[in-house]
Amino acid sequence: MSQLIPPHGGKGLTCCLLEGAELAAELKKAQGLKKINISAREKGDLIMMGIGGFSPLTGFMTKADWKSVCENFLLADGTFWPIPVTLSASKEDAAGIAAGEEIALFDPEREEFMATMKVTEKYEMTAADKKFECEKIYMGEGTKTAEEFWKIAKDDHPGVKMVMEQKDVNLAGPVKVLSEAEYPTKYAGIYMRPAESRKIFQERGWKEIAALQLRNPMHRSHEYLCKIAVEVCDGVFIHSLVGNLKPGDIPADVRVKCIDALVKNYFVEEHVLQGGYPLDMRYAGPREALLHATFRQNYGCTRMIIGRDHAGVGDFYGMFEAQTIFNKIPKPEGGKGLLCTPLKIDWTFYCHKCDGMASLRTCPHDKKDRVLLSGTALRKGLSEGTPIPDHFGREEVLAILREYYAGLEEKVEIKLHGAATGK
C-alpha cells in the first residue's frame, strides 16, 4: 500500500503514452491519417497527458470543459482544474475533419508524430472567446480593469499573446501519445515521469514532500525556500521546467548545472531530489501556481512551495496573489479536489543586520539592509555584465552563469518590474 498522496482526480495515473507493439502499430496508422501541426505548448501538454502528469486528463478539452475551467476552476464533470488544455487548428484544417475521425498530431520542429487523436468535438474560438480566456486566466490583481489589462497585455504578456495567436478552431478528444520527444535523451537523469518520482519517494520512505517550481537559476532565495521545506517535510523535489521559456530566460541545461552545484555543495543530498518536466511556461501567475500544485500531486508531492510572484510576469499579478488564490478555489470531494496544499512563504532576502537569510515575517530591519533577490534582477545583471551584489547567489552558481552569458552572441533586453525591485 503506497504511503504517498493519490494522483489528482481519483482515477490513479492516467497515462496515454503507448509502448511496444501497440506504439509501433499506432505509429504506422498515424502515417495515413490527416496531419495537424501542433505548437510547442500543445506538444508539452500532450507529453504530460502521456506520462500521467496531467491526470486525470486523457485528451484535449471540450468546449464545456474549457468554459467551466475558465469560469469555475472545474472540468465539466466537477473535477478541479485551473487552466485550459486545448488544441487549436485552422478553419481550413478543421473543416476537413468529421466528428469521430482520427487525426495525427505532428511536431513540425522535430518532424515527428506526437499522437493520434479521435476528434469528438470542434468549436470555434472567436476573438471574443480568446479575450474571455485571457481575462479569466491571465488578468490578476496587478491590473484592476479589463481595459487597463488590455492596454499592456496584448504586447507585454507572453501568455496572452500565445492565446490570441492560437488558430481559430479548437479540437477536442482523447489522445494516444506516441513520443516523449527529446526530453528522455536531452535531459537524461533529470526528466522523469510521475511513476518514477513516486517510486523514488516510496523507496526513500518520504511521505510529506514539497515541490519547488523553477524556471530561473537557483539563487539564495530559492535555496532558503528549499531549506525551509526540508525542515518541515521529509524531502524537497526541485522540479525544473525544461520546456520553452520567453526570450531572455536561461535555458534548462544551464539551470540544471546550477542546481547540481547547489545541491552538491549546500544540501544534505538524501533530502533532495531534482527532476524536470516538459511544459512550456504560460506565465499565468496565480492560475499557474494552481496548475503547478495539481500536477505536482501527480508526481507524489503533498506541498507546493509558493513564494513571491509565483509564475508571474511584469506587474500583472499581486505579489502574493498566487498564495491567496488557494483560499478561493472550489473544493470538490471524492478525489476530484486538489489535495496538494501550498507551503506559503513570505518574501525572502539576505539581511546584512540579521547576518543571514530572512523574510518579511522574521526581519525587522530597513530595506537598505536587505539584498533583494530576484531571478529577473540576476539575469539582468549577468546579461549586462554589472556586478552582482554580495549574498545574491552562490559563487559556484554565478561562475556557471557568467560562462553562459559570456558565450552569448546576442542578448535580450531584460526589463525590471516592481516585484523584482521591491517597489
Summarize pLDDT for 308-338 with one digit per residue, the tens: 889 888 889 999 999 999 999 999 998 999 9
**Secondary structure class of 142 (helix, strand, coil):** coil
The pLDDT score that the predictor gives to residue 423 is 46
Judge contact between 307 and 272, C-beta under 8 A.
Answer: no
Q: What is the pLDDT of residue 421?
A: 47
* 105 and 38 Cβ atoms separated by less than 8 Å: yes
Outline which parts of the chain fall under CATH 3.40.50.620. 187-421
Sign of the dihedral through C-alpha 150, 152, 155, 161: negative
The rounded percent of the chain whose pLDDT value lies above 70 is 95
Work out the number of other CB atoms within 10 angstroms of the CB of residue 114.
Answer: 23
What is the set of active-site residues? 215-216
C-beta of residue 70 within 8 angstroms of C-beta of residue 139: no
Q: Which CATH class is domain 187-421?
A: alpha beta
Q: Classify domain 20-125+166-181 at the CATH topology level.
A: Sulfate adenylyltransferase (3.10.400)
How many Cα atoms are found within 13 Å in the side-chain-facing hemisphere of 179?
18
- pLDDT of residue 303 exceeding 70, the answer is yes
User: Higher pLDDT residue, 300 or 219?
Assistant: 300
How many of the other CB atoms lie within 10 Å of CB of 22?
Answer: 10
pLDDT in tens, 15-45: 999 999 999 999 999 999 999 999 999 999 9
Domain with CATH 3.10.400.10 in the chain: 20-125+166-181
Q: Which three cell numbers stand for residue 312?
A: 508571474
Rounded to whole angstroms, what are the CA distances from 335 to 11, 78, 185, 325, 326? 8, 11, 34, 20, 17
For residues 113-121, average pLDDT: 98
Mean pLDDT computed over 252-258 = 88
pLDDT at 198: 98
**396 vs 260: CA distance, rounded Å:** 10
Q: Is the pLDDT of residue 119 over 90?
A: yes
Euclidean distance between CA atoms 89 and 69, whole angstroms: 20
Question: What value does the mean pLDDT of the chain take?
Answer: 92
Peptide bond into 56 cis (omega under 30): yes
Could you tell me the pLDDT band of residue 55, with boundaries at 50, 70 and 90?
very high
Residue 365 CB contacts under 8 Å (≥ 6 apart), including other chains: 351, 353, 354
Percent of the residues in the chain that have a pLDDT greater than 90, as a whole number: 77
pTM of the shown model:
0.93
Query: Which pLDDT score, from 0 to 100, does residue 19 have?
Result: 97
